[in-house]
A and B are shown apart, each in its own frame.
Chain A
Amino acid sequence: MFGVLKSYLSWLITSLLALGLILSNENMQVNTMRDNFSDLLVIVARPVSNLIRAPRLWGENARLRKQLAELSIKVADISDSAVETERLRHMLDFRERSAYELVATEVIGMNPDFGIRGILVDAGSEDGVEINQAVITPDGVVGRVYRAGKRSSAVQLLLDPNSGVAARLGRSREVGIVHAAGGRRLRLDGVPVTAAVGTGDSVITSGLGGVFPPGLLIGVTRSVNHRAVDWLWQIELQPAVDFGHLSELFVVRKAERAE
């Protein structure tokens, strides 16, 4: 009898401990410990991750070498045009725009939770990565930095149910918010039925949320349905990024554009 009671008591104490941790999510010590644990795991996980990726990288390396040879020929042609363009730009007094400063990083692992919600990358505060910086690939937006340790960071993907990105329809310029829609689907909420929307329209970041620079591709509209309840479009998106094959990413360290 006492054994059974002891057993239930240990479950109760453990559950209370877990609840205590849930309530202390904003605690700095708890977050520092989380960051340190991520950093530690990255040290062990990086070689294993590299080993798994090696065969794919060899193939990619061969393909890129071939591409590099082809591109170097093209570059020679383009450099002539660039000189000409630069001369014309000066003549027209175009203002110089600063590019985004990007930090290259690699995916070390997925968040071990159920469903896809985040990834671990091998760049941290030592590389200039900070919380709430945008994470992108050449294809489009991946997510934002949720936690930044010294040498690793946790990235919240657009597929996270708690993620929300201020977005704009490329054609009609109507703004809305992109949310996860379960699985690998995204949806654009808050677009009134008065806006012109069609399938295949691009959806880009609006820059209104302050996290993502404007103009980054999020996806294209896949299906558009009329929601009679609140006079809003129900828009499903095809993400621009293939979330199943994320490997090399960029963290947008600075997204200022000189005015």
Chain B
Amino acid sequence: MGRYLATRLSHVVITLFAMMTLTFFLFRLLPGDPTAMVISPALDPAAQEAMRVRFGLDRPLVEQYFVYLANLARFDFGYSFRTSGPVWDLIQGRLVNTLLLILPSMTAAYAIGAFLGAYIGWHRGSRTEAGVILVATILQSAPLFWLSMLAILFFSIKLDLFPTGHIVSPGSFPEQTWRMYLTWDFLHHLALPFMVNTLYQLCFPLLLMRSTMLSTVGEDFIELARMKGLTERQVLFRHAMPTSLLPLATTLPMILGWAVAGSVVIETIFSWPGLGLLMVEAVTQADYPLVQGAFLLIAVLTVTGTFVADMLYGMLDPRIVYR
């Protein structure tokens, strides 16, 4: 186990390193002028030249690359063009907002998906099964942003139950502070994106749980549990479901990472001030240091998610032998 962990950990380090390298070159080699990455083209030429020297952009690219790596190690993501403040200060608050939306809705999606999936897998071949699969597939096929639009159209505009967007009422908290998360207003704003995201994300765990259940149902220990005289309900929830949870549990961290990456869509439509929206805004404003910072942070979360998923799989399934 220890050796396996060490190998996997070294893979993560390699992956993260590759990701940082890729990001560095992606942001510098693709556009015509690599300095556009750090110096706003809006400045006058003399000032641009002065900054070029100050930021070391007149140095060879390889040298810049090592400076960049050293800076990342110190959480120095550079400075935003627009606010001139450190990128790290801008993205850390946004990360909290993203997690406050994504974590609760993914937890709910997995809980509901697991139970519903176990239920329809148990009642294989029933009308309920066919119906749930049909609805889940159609839901999964709809673009998330479109479902959000419909939800806003119906619940916010027509019924006036929820705000159409933002994290708290505009103007109520001019500065980002933790106190705003403790207000009723925050929960009120969270409700609609939470529900839409939950509904959309629960399709995957549901379908996965169902197909795992299909193979569990035929196993001997289920038959044994039945013969012991347990009720169908006990067999389902105490024996069949816990065994089938394994593949589901192991996908969670990876899907979480992907959900953070996918937050661009839901955050844009609900004007939710998270990492995803920040990235979209920064791209439209050509604020490249900010885009790079947000991109790297999301990438680190995704890589970590995949790693945790792999480790969980080994820990939860004793049949897996580490070599």
The reply to whether chain A is a binding partner of chain B is no
Interface, chain B (partner A; CB < 8 A): none
